[in-house]
Amino acid sequence: MARKHILHMLTPLKHMSPFDVNMALDAGFDAVVPYVDVGLGEVTGLVQDAIFSRPPDAGVDTGIFIAGKDASLALDMFDAARKAMVPPFQVSVFADPAGSFTTAAAMVAKVEKALEKKFERGLKDTRIAVFGATGVVGFCTAVIAAREGAGVTLVGHDGIERVKQIAAEIKNRFNIAVDAADGSSDARKTKLVEASEVILACAKAGVQVVSKAQL
Amino acid sequence: MARKHILHMLTPLKHMSPFDVNMALDAGFDAVVPYVDVGLGEVTGLVQDAIFSRPPDAGVDTGIFIAGKDASLALDMFDAARKAMVPPFQVSVFADPAGSFTTAAAMVAKVEKALEKKFERGLKDTRIAVFGATGVVGFCTAVIAAREGAGVTLVGHDGIERVKQIAAEIKNRFNIAVDAADGSSDARKTKLVEASEVILACAKAGVQVVSKAQL
Amino acid sequence: MARKHILHMLTPLKHMSPFDVNMALDAGFDAVVPYVDVGLGEVTGLVQDAIFSRPPDAGVDTGIFIAGKDASLALDMFDAARKAMVPPFQVSVFADPAGSFTTAAAMVAKVEKALEKKFERGLKDTRIAVFGATGVVGFCTAVIAAREGAGVTLVGHDGIERVKQIAAEIKNRFNIAVDAADGSSDARKTKLVEASEVILACAKAGVQVVSKAQL
């Protein structure tokens, strides 16, 4: 009997995401087990509990998945999980809160490809406005794009306060500077669109962030 | 690799029912994942989270099961789940709180068959007393039988108050009239038995609702 | 299609143990389902819910696993689970809180084997000191060794109070007498080592209970 692929799915939220469960099973895991309402302080114990019951060479078949809707918390949990390893007993760890890491990476990659194809340039110094920047996908997109050298502005649909805090968090955690802007009115949004070369819409499904007229 | 059959099992209770888990796995689902303590207001989010991570044609292989012990709440959750679909992204939804929908349907079907075989008649205008009517199976049995035209009386082992409320709920939700009766003493039960053509015992396992002498 | 092997995993704790999940899946179960925060009073309901949805001959393919970190509670839950059976409807029940029952049994068996091989004697009247006796493995080890006739002393790293309570619990539950000793200083530990023929170290991973010099 081949060794089973097991995924322990950790979320700080009340419920595991059915989206993530589907993805994990479709990716080939034989068994997925949810652990909900997991605090950062519980990660070490859960991970160490997972690593000693299979031989060291089974680590690659045993996965820890970190879910949730908060990128910073997910990164902290990811770090805690990695530090909990006791080589040669190690397991795979993967974080993707609300699919944001993969979604953001794909979004930035698509933009990079389009820039290259249409304008023969890269992300470097490209002026990018991230609408819907208060969400986890916007957060990750901003970080990845800024890391690639883009000039990123986080646009807040409810004013500048929250996006300013997010910019500060990005500065603090990744040492990357991004701007914050107030996008709470149509006039303000139009101005931001005019000042940008690329607009990334990261708002919730069903929300129109910019009208056709503003483009 | 064939696509896996995944069942997301939602219950408003603290624990998923092991009964339902066994049934789901024996019915052929490859993976079942419990979500406990689910509020009615959380159903939309969970269902929408489930529908977008697989291609539209996989909807039939992705199921939402609504469990619990409350038929009305299960029906409300079922409605919420159906309204959460975003065609062509849709998944299968099935509600059967405490097995009551299937149990009640089977019970009424058996009665219908027996009536036809032995008396060449149907449920129409048959006088049915539902003992143990304060439970979820009794509730569903009453609704199904009354819909088929039977004259249904809910019998309360602890008096008439609770079954009167249940009758009002059935009237309100399904626009079906059923009677309520006090079955709190042996004398009252004997009277109700005499007035009925069919008796359905829906009480808990281990409870004797009517003695042999009363029949 | 062969009948699936299903394991319902019950824990009184907030999270199921990933260790136990791995073990169960590697042992051949096709599906494992966690039930967390399970109270002793909930065991009967959960077990009875599990036994009626499969035919009686499937009982051996349906398992109840009792986890946690408390041996006494696990034994109480185990008893409750066994009493919940309704023959011929029965399922398999297995308790192993924090792996302690199997770990302790293996530990004592190893000692027994070594005593026989090196000294041609058994556990009977062997003086055994259990360091780390406040944990669940220490508890079980003490019970098993004492049952085999060893003279067991529970050593408390934080004084004698907690191990005295544990000794009382062992007396009360199993009618087995074990001693308790204060092992809170190096001097006390050295004395206990000198008075013992066998030392069992049951402390947490990473804790050194006795130094090389003390042996």
pLDDT tens sequence across B137-149: 999 999 999 999 9
User: Is there a single domain that holds both residue C196 and residue C140?
Assistant: yes
Are residue C153 and residue C72 in the same domain, yes or no? Answer: no
Within-domain flag for B42:
yes
Per-residue pLDDT band at C164 (split at 50, 70, 90): very high
Distance between A20 CA and the closest CA of chain B, angstroms = 8
Judge whether C1 lies within some domain: no
Question: Which contiguous run of DSSP H or E holds residue B201?
Answer: strand B198-201
Is A16 in contact with B1 (Cβ distance < 8 A)?
no
Q: Does the pLDDT of residue B176 top 90, yes or no?
A: yes
What mean pLDDT comes out for the span C157-163?
Answer: 94
Are B109 and B82 members of one domain?
no
B149 plus B168 within the same structural domain? yes
The CATH number for C201's domain is 3.40.50.720
Q: Which of C15, C21, C34 sits opposite A6 (nearest CB)?
A: C21
Return the closest-CA partner of residue C3 out of C34, C33, C30.
Answer: C30
Q: Given a cut of 70, is residue A1 above it in pLDDT? A: no
Residue B1 lies inside a defined structural domain of this protein: no
Same domain assignment for residues A123 and A88: no
Which of A14, A22, A26 is facing B50, going by the closest CB pair? A22
> How many Å apart are CA B152 and CA B171, to the nearest integer?
12
Distance CA C146, CA C142 (A): 6
Confidence of residue C210 (pLDDT cuts 50, 70, 90): confident
pLDDT at residue A191 in the model: 95
Q: Is residue A19 part of a domain?
A: yes
Residue A1 located in a structural domain: no
Of A16, A25, A31, the CB nearest to B6: A25
Are B31 and A34 within 8 A, CB to CB? Answer: no
My answer on whether A41 and A119 are in the same domain is no
Distance from CA of C37 to the nearest CA of A (A): 12
CA-based end-to-end distance of chain A? 58
**What are phi and psi for residue C160, nearest 5 degrees?**
-95, -15
Distance of CA A8 to the CA centre of its chain: 19
Measure CB to CB from residue C32 to each of A33, A42, A54 and give the nearest one: A33
A interface toward B at CB cutoff 8 Å?
14-23, 25-26, 28, 31-32, 34
For β-strands B62-66 and B92-95, DSSP reports them as: parallel
Decide if pLDDT at A153 tops 70: yes
- Tens-digit pLDDT profile for residues A179-201: 999 999 999 999 999 999 999 99
Reported as a single tens digit per residue, the pLDDT across A24-46 is: 999 999 999 999 999 999 999 99
Name the average pLDDT for chain B. Answer: 94
Residue of A40, A53, A71, A76 lying closest to A4 (CA atoms): A53
Residue A43's alpha-carbon distances to A76, B74, C12, C70, in angstroms, are 10, 34, 19, 21
In chain C, what residues touch B25 (CB-CB under 8 Å)?
A: 4, 6, 30-31
The amino acid that residue C142 corresponds to is A
Q: Looking at residue C195, what is its pLDDT?
A: 94
A52, A28: one domain: yes
**Residues B104 and B210 grouped into a single domain:** yes
End-of-domain residue from the set B58, B76, B95: B95
Which of A76, A95, A114 corresponds to the end of one domain? A95
pLDDT tens for residues B71-87?
999 999 999 999 999 99
pLDDT band at A210 (very low <50, low <70, confident <90, very high): confident
pLDDT-derived band of residue B207, with 50, 70 and 90 as boundaries? confident
Q: Which amino acid is at B88?
A: P
Closest Cα of chain A to B173: distance in Å? 30
| CATH number of the structural domain spanning residue B72 | 3.40.50.10280
So what's the pLDDT on residue C206? 72
Instruction: Identify whether residues A132 and A104 lie together within a single domain.
Output: yes
Residues A7-20 have pLDDT tens digits of: 999 999 999 999 99
H or E element at residue B129:
strand B127-131
Residue B62 pLDDT > 90 = yes
Does one domain contain both C129 and C79? Answer: no
Domain span holding position B27: 6-95
How many CB atoms within 10 Å of residue B152? Answer: 30
Asked whether residue B111 is domain-assigned, the answer is: yes
Chain C residues in contact with B31 by the CB 8 A cut-off are 31
Can you give the pLDDT at residue A85? 93
Could you tell me if residue C167 is inside a domain? Answer: yes
User: What is the number of domains present in chain A?
Assistant: 2
Q: C111: Cβ–Cβ under 8 A, 6 or more apart, which residues?
A: C123, C128, C145, C198, C200
pLDDT band at B194 (very low <50, low <70, confident <90, very high): very high
pLDDT band at B199 (very low <50, low <70, confident <90, very high): very high
Domain co-membership, C90 together with C112: no
Q: Which helix (H) or strand (E) is A128 found in, with range?
A: strand A127-131
CB A132 within 8 A of CB A207: yes
The pLDDT value given to residue C59: 85
Do C134 and C172 fall into the same domain? yes
Neighbouring subunits of C (3+ Cβ pairs under 8 A): A, B
- pLDDT at position C2 is 81
Residues of B whose CB is below 8 A from C3: 26
At residue B76, the pLDDT reads: 97
Give residue A65's pLDDT band: very low, low, confident or very high (50, 70, 90). very high
Last residue of a domain, one of C95, C125, C143: C95
Q: Give the model's confidence band at B167: pLDDT under 50 very low, under 70 low, under 90 confident, else very high.
A: very high
Q: Is 90 exceeded by the pLDDT of residue B210?
A: no
Which whole number is the average pLDDT over A149-165?
Answer: 96
Answer whether residue B1 shows pLDDT above 70. Answer: no
Classify residue B113: in a domain, yes or no.
yes
- Please give the pLDDT value at position A120: 95
Name the band, by pLDDT with cuts 50, 70 and 90, for residue C1: low
Q: Which of A24-38, B53-67, C196-210 comes out lowest in average pLDDT?
A: C196-210
Q: Span A59-87, mean pLDDT?
A: 95
| Closest residue in chain B to residue C64, using alpha carbons only | B18
The string of pLDDT tens digits covering residues C80-131 is 999 999 999 999 999 999 889 999 999 999 999 999 999 999 999 999 999 9
pLDDT of residue B172: 95
Whether the per-residue pLDDT at A205 is higher than 80: the answer is no
